[in-house]
Structure 1
Amino acid sequence: MSFTVVLVGRPNVGKSTLFNRLAGKKLALVDDTPGVTRDWRAAPGHVGGLSFTVVDTAGLEDVSDDSLEARMRRQTERALDRADVALFIIDARAGVTPLDRHFANLLRKGRTPVVLVANKAEGKAGMPGLYEAFELGLGEPLAISAEHGEGMADLVQALMPYAKEDDADAEAQAAAGSIGSEEDEIPIGDQPEPEEDKAKPIQIAIVGRPNVGKSTLLNSLVGEERVLTGPEAGMTRDAISVDWTWRDRRFKLVDTAGMRRRARVDEKVEKLAVADALRVIRMANVVILVVDAGQILDKQDLTIARMVISEGRSLVIAVNKWDAVENRALALKQVEDKLEAALGYIKGVKVVTISALKGQKLDTLLDAVLATYTVWNRRIPTSQLNRWLEGVLDHHPPPLIEGRRLKIRYMTQVKTRPPTLALFVNKPLDLPESYQRYLIADLRETFDLPGVPLRLLLRKGKNPFADD
């Protein structure tokens, strides 16, 4: 059975709490501050034997201008039009408000069926509001507590009429696109190779400082206003995931909150949003770092880049708003110089100049993403590695330690994503870091491994494949 359930209501009635309950994971940010959720997001939902797509939305506001609240409302209306059933949520403890009545009138006139849900109805404090809800004209309200899981059996019965048999159920759930799903949580290096499972989408995290054009880039790629954009910095809070296909390759694009320097982050909601962005980076296959062409690779950009590399993710840098740059040669030279100074140990990070607003060079950006993803998954045959190692040791052996030479016996690749190699040395603790950097740099050049982190693990022992 597969259908879509959208959660709607005014701000701070518990939509995101119910979303997390139905999704079975803490995917949406939850806080007492009204208006935390701004974009709609979807995930596979499961309750009482029903499987469906559940959609969390921003709180409804009675505005229709060009303000942020009005743009949030239009996003919610767009999600509502695509749903099979809407759960209209009110706060039973607060009772029915004029805003609840206003949107109940609008929902009654719409084409999407509505189920009235009175949340926070645990205990006696919610009873007056529950009785008031009858006056909304949406039928008998369901009394639930999203936080404590009460009333879920009644919710299942209310959703049952909208469930429909569908052979594509599994595909629909996969298309819901929730970061943090089970397939995302497979440990790095234990994931199947792309050639073994090309049906899985490539996870792409779009990260950067606030107001550099991350959300505009996602909207331009998918060809619709999927996430809110505007001049206000810090608009995105939840990590919003969108499934998308380009040239027969499946992608999961994830827009994240802008990441400011830690010293400037003081609001609780922003801290939660940045923590969510860091989680997305850890789950990603490729990270697109969006930077502003007017402030190319400032200190915070480079901090984010180093963070991506330290997490073992592959990195592509998108220099946005390139159409506004006058001296482009000078700007590119600045990029090269800053990358060499800050990330000189990881040669070949791909840099693509784009205009997300005008849709310029987005295909070039995606080509760079696929090329970097391929390198990130590369596996080098053991025989080639050891022929290379033999040549390196002949031309540049390790330095003497206390008058004795270290014995490097063997090398093999133990993981991909990122390429991780084990080097067997008689005294691994004595091998200088400078020599390890030399080996990694030569590996990167010899086997054409640009722009991705390489990990070298030192192991003590003899060649494991040699005869005793």
Structure 2
Amino acid sequence: MSFVLAIVGRPNVGKSTLFNRLVGKRLALVDDQPGVTRDLREGEARLGGLSFTVVDTAGLEEATDDSLQGRMRRLTERAVGMADACLFLIDARVGLTPTDEIFADILRRSGTPVILGANKAEGRAAEAGVMEAYGVGLGDPIALSAEHGEGMAELAVVLAPMIEAAEGAAEEARTDVDVEEGETLPDKPLQIAVVGRPNAGKSTLINKIIGEERLLTGPEAGITRDSIAVPITWGGTRMRLFDTAGMRKRAKVQEKLEKLSVSDGLRAVKFAEIVVVLLDAAIPFEQQDLRIADLAEREGRAVVVAVNKWDIEEAKQEKLRDLKEAFERLLPQLRGAPLITVSAKTGRGLDRLREAIIRAHEVWNRRIPTARLNSWLAGMVEAHPPPAPAGRRIKLRYMTQAKTRPPGFVVMCSLPEKLPESYSRYLVNGLREDFDMPGTPIRLHMRSQSDANPYKNRKKSIPSRLSKHVKKGATKKG
């Protein structure tokens, strides 16, 4: 288990900026508006020769009720309890505030080792704030500038003995067997993005899967702002679940922060292997749901459609029948993709969802031998020959699988530009049915023999040893 450092402090003191600096990527959303971060975001940090896990947290506020700010504070306090150490940031330009002093007292009583950092310490304007930081009684403050990278060496010096001590204790406690006998885990976890409209229950679903309140949830729509990756071993399979911000229609997205959130969610879809499109059973297959599912298909991702809040549905059989009919009619490009009913609140249907994800990933990675493909192609052509534009029959000569993830096929043929789209759909549908590849995106490319010729359109050149004689002969004739 890696050493865990939680970055905590008031809103807008630069926690996410420092998080991005430590992980070396712009993983966390950063904006001048306070309170951008709401969930816990983990990342693998490197600082000098040190490697550790860093956690970005929501800004600590004084709310203690069940409001959104109160739930954010409880989530941050939970991160403090789980961390090996906390980096408590204050704003050196603003100086020490009463809120800083309140939370410094909370951190002292938590029992977790605390490192005090005075961020935004570049320039003379911050000198007084750095001196004020001594007043919280948490030791010598480290003057930092997360934006410009100042103070990172001093932070590494303080962290080094803490990490060394934690690793030594972990080595003593480590058992010889980490995985049960007979159980094998893949080297790389499956990358799964959970996407959908606001308030579909994405964060609640992930919390139910991992068995703890890891992500912030509530009745308010749009709580999640950036894509949060949660590692988990689910049924013996390692996964990384990405919780994404709810995606609304583009015309309704006006605020800069929401645009950043949606952009972050779209990026999660592009890097995922499987996309779980989560629908609300009360209003399924809204226009935005269709756009999200179509985006996942166009990006070539394996798609699983999950219908949430099934526990409050009364006429389940009739509703399920209507859902399947609407799915086939509105999303023909995903014909055969799994449609799973779940309840993020009760956990009903989660086993079937996991099985559908594993199955979708297997299909997405499927490779078909070339001999089988060409035998199948001959049968498809015999059953339904391609058209003959201007009296010239298009010939399909050879087929092979060029790639997986998603499955991609190349067919060598004559006159590929004249083969109608309907015939390509005929072949794609046949591949789905005959090779058991329901729902996964399939890429089919038609090429002519001349496309494969590397010397096509290349001008003939005279060998260099003959070029001199040719030039001399031309000169003499002249």
TM-score by length of 1: 0.91
Unaligned segments of structure 2, at least 5 residues:
175-183, 453-478
1:370 aligns with 2:358: yes
After superposition, where does 1:455-466 map in structure 2 within 5 Å?
455-461=443-449
- Contact 1:3–1:164 (CA<8 Å) still a contact in 2? no
What is the match of residue 188 of structure 1?
A: none
What is the match of residue 435 of structure 2?
A: 447
User: Structure 1 residue 232: deviation in Å?
Assistant: 0.4
Q: Could you tell which deviates more after superposition, 327-336 or 450-459?
A: 327-336
Give, in whole Å, the separation in 2 of the partners of 1:364 and 1:2: 32
Q: What is the DSSP-based 3-state SS (H/G/I as helix, E as strand, rest coil) of the residue aligned with 2:262?
A: helix
Decide which structure has the larger Cα Rg and report it: 2
User: Structure 1 residue 204: deviation in Å?
Assistant: 1.1
1:386 aligns with 2:367: no
1:419 aligns with 2:419: no
1:341 aligns with 2:318: no
What is the match of residue 42 of structure 1?
A: 42
Q: What is the DSSP-based 3-state SS (H/G/I as helix, E as strand, rest coil) of the residue aligned with 2:333?
A: coil
1:70 aligns with 2:58: no
What is the match of residue 179 of structure 1?
A: none
What is the match of residue 475 of structure 2?
A: none
User: Structure 1 residue 329: deviation in Å?
Assistant: 2.7
1:294 aligns with 2:282: yes
Q: Quick one: structure 1 residues 197 and 454, their matched pair in 2 at CA, closer, same or farther if it must change by over 3 Å?
A: farther
Give, in whole Å, the separation in 2 of the partners of 1:198 and 1:420: 24
What is the match of residue 255 of structure 1?
A: 243
Q: What is the DSSP-based 3-state SS (H/G/I as helix, E as strand, rest coil) of the residue aligned with 1:445?
A: helix
What is the match of residue 410 of structure 1?
A: 398
Give, in whole Å, the separation in 1 of the partners of 2:87 and 2:127: 19
Give, in whole Å, the separation in 2 of the partners of 1:261 and 1:394: 46
Q: Deviations over 1:32-73 (max 9, x none)?
A: 111110011111000111100011000001121111111111
User: Structure 1 residue 429: deviation in Å?
Assistant: 1.6
- Contact 1:2–1:164 (CA<8 Å) still a contact in 2? no
What's the % identity of the aligned pairs? 56
1:245 aligns with 2:201: no
Give, in whole Å, the separation in 1 of the partners of 2:337 and 2:416: 30
Q: What is the DSSP-based 3-state SS (H/G/I as helix, E as strand, rest coil) of the residue aligned with 1:216?
A: helix
Residues paired across the two proteins, number: 440
Q: What is the DSSP-based 3-state SS (H/G/I as helix, E as strand, rest coil) of the residue aligned with 1:453?
A: coil
User: Structure 1 residue 158: deviation in Å?
Assistant: 1.4
- Contact 1:39–1:240 (CA<8 Å) still a contact in 2? yes
- Contact 1:293–1:321 (CA<8 Å) still a contact in 2? yes
Which amino acid in structure 1 is aligned with residue 117 of structure 2?
Answer: V
Give, in whole Å, the separation in 2 of the partners of 1:463 and 1:284: 32
What is the match of residue 161 of structure 2?
A: 161
User: Structure 1 residue 254: deviation in Å?
Assistant: 1.1
- Contact 2:185–2:237 (CA<8 Å) still a contact in 1? no
Give, in whole Å, the separation in 2 of the partners of 1:346 and 1:227: 30
Q: What is the DSSP-based 3-state SS (H/G/I as helix, E as strand, rest coil) of the residue aligned with 1:402?
A: helix
Which amino acid in structure 2 is aligned with residue 46 of structure 1?
Answer: R
User: Structure 1 residue 337: deviation in Å?
Assistant: 2.5
What is the match of residue 462 of structure 2?
A: none
Give, in whole Å, the separation in 1 of the partners of 2:81 and 2:415: 65
Q: Which of these residues, 220, 223, 246, is aligned with residue 235 of structure 1?
A: 223
Q: Which of these residues, 234, 247, 265, is aligned with residue 253 of structure 2?
A: 265
- Contact 1:345–1:441 (CA<8 Å) still a contact in 2? no
- Contact 2:307–2:339 (CA<8 Å) still a contact in 1? yes
What is the match of residue 325 of structure 1?
A: 313
1:401 aligns with 2:389: yes
Q: Which of these residues, 339, 343, 353, is aligned with residue 355 of structure 1?
A: 343
Give, in whole Å, the separation in 1 of the partners of 2:226 and 2:82: 21
What is the match of residue 192 of structure 1?
A: none
Q: Which of these residues, 214, 217, 229, is aligned with residue 226 of structure 1?
A: 214
- Contact 1:409–1:463 (CA<8 Å) still a contact in 2? no
What is the match of residue 189 of structure 2?
A: 201
Q: What is the DSSP-based 3-state SS (H/G/I as helix, E as strand, rest coil) of the residue aligned with 1:295?
A: coil
What is the match of residue 61 of structure 2?
A: 61
- Taking only aligned residues, the RMSD between alpha carbons, in angstroms, comes to 2.0
User: Structure 1 residue 277: deviation in Å?
Assistant: 0.6
Q: What is the DSSP-based 3-state SS (H/G/I as helix, E as strand, rest coil) of the residue aligned with 1:449?
A: coil
- Contact 2:13–2:89 (CA<8 Å) still a contact in 1? yes
User: Structure 1 residue 342: deviation in Å?
Assistant: 2.0
Q: What is the DSSP-based 3-state SS (H/G/I as helix, E as strand, rest coil) of the residue aligned with 1:163?
A: helix
Runs of 4+ residues over 3 Å off in structure 1: 165-169
What is the match of residue 178 of structure 1?
A: none
1:103 aligns with 2:103: yes
- Contact 1:317–1:351 (CA<8 Å) still a contact in 2? yes
User: Structure 1 residue 197: deviation in Å?
Assistant: 8.8
Give, in whole Å, the separation in 2 of the partners of 1:197 and 1:88: 37
Give, in whole Å, the separation in 2 of the partners of 1:302 and 1:291: 10
What is the match of residue 127 of structure 1?
A: 127
Which amino acid in structure 1 is aligned with residue 329 of structure 2?
Answer: A
After superposition, where does 1:71-86 map in structure 2 within 5 Å?
71-86=71-86
Give, in whole Å, the separation in 2 of the partners of 1:455 and 1:226: 38
User: Structure 1 residue 140: deviation in Å?
Assistant: 1.4
Q: Quick one: structure 1 residues 351 and 70, their matched pair in 2 at CA, closer, same or farther if it must change by over 3 Å?
A: same
Which amino acid in structure 2 is aligned with residue 211 of structure 1?
Answer: N
Give, in whole Å, the separation in 2 of the partners of 1:307 and 1:77: 37
After superposition, where does 1:142-153 map in structure 2 within 5 Å?
142-153=142-153
User: Structure 1 residue 462: deviation in Å?
Assistant: 7.2
Q: Deviations over 1:284-324 (max 9, x none)?
A: 11111111110011111111110110000011111111111
- Contact 2:196–2:247 (CA<8 Å) still a contact in 1? yes
What is the match of residue 22 of structure 2?
A: 22
What is the match of residue 422 of structure 2?
A: 434
TM-score by length of 2: 0.89
